Amino acid sequence: MVLSFLFEQAPAASGNLVVASSQQASLLGGLLPADEGDNARILTNADSAAYDKVAERLGIETDYNENKSLLATVASWLGTPYRYGSSSKSGTDCSGFVTRVFKEVYGLTLQRSSRSMFGTVKRVDKDEMQTGDLVFFRRGPGQPIYHVGIYLKDNKFAHAATNGGVMVSSLRQAYYSRNFYAAGRVDR
């Protein structure tokens, strides 16, 4: 293969091709992971452009190893109006948004309220959050959890806000920084 010099063979047990270096990868802008594992494949420029377009809509910079299905699904919900107690693209609340995305992407049925979701996740430190983890908010010590969102990366998360519907916000914004309570990982 003409491009074989750009790749090195992964350990014999896996037999998968991997990018030899980030410098070499930059020569092929269409390289994206095939899935969440160690497999890699060459994708078309159209695939790469679609990935970049989704990342741009979400306001994140991607390194092409995020869950592409999760990002595309979240992006498809952007702009959905807020509607308490609902979970459809005609209107949703925060937990409705999260439950629908997890059902669509992972085939998992989550608890319907943010408080109930919190009881079923594995807590993770804020500095160890990964794309797809849940972020929970409360209004002060001893107060109940009132809001949930899906962590994207770089301190950004997607959620359904009462004042704007499904959107991407930053954990660095004063309101979310002040009310952030914890992050949790769902077994997937």
**What is the tens place of the pLDDT at every residue in 113-157?**
999 999 999 999 999 999 999 999 999 889 999 999 999 999 999
Tokens 């802008």 correspond to what residue? 29
**Which residues are known to be catalytic?**
94, 147, 159
* Over residues 152-169, mean pLDDT: 97
Question: Considering only CA atoms, which of 174, 186, 149, 182 is closest in space to residue 164?
Answer: 149
Note the pLDDT tens digit of each residue in 32-81.
344 444 444 455 666 678 888 998 999 998 888 889 999 999 999 999 99
Residue the block writes with tokens 């693209």: 89
The helix/strand/coil state of 188 is coil
pTM confidence score: 0.76
Q: Do 132 and 70 form a contact (C-beta atoms < 8 A)? A: yes
How far does CA 122 lie from the centroid of its chain?
17
CA 163/CA 27 separation, integer angstroms: 43
- Looking at residue 49, its pLDDT comes to 83
Q: What is the pLDDT of residue 51?
A: 80
Rg of the chain (C-alpha set) = 18
Give me the pLDDT at residue 66, please.
Answer: 86
Return the structure tokens found at 167: 């959107």
* Mean pLDDT along residues 147-170: 97
Interatomic CA distance for residues 135 and 184, integer angstroms: 6
Q: How much is the pLDDT for 65?
A: 82
DSSP code for 82:
B
For residue 105, pLDDT over 60 is answered with: yes
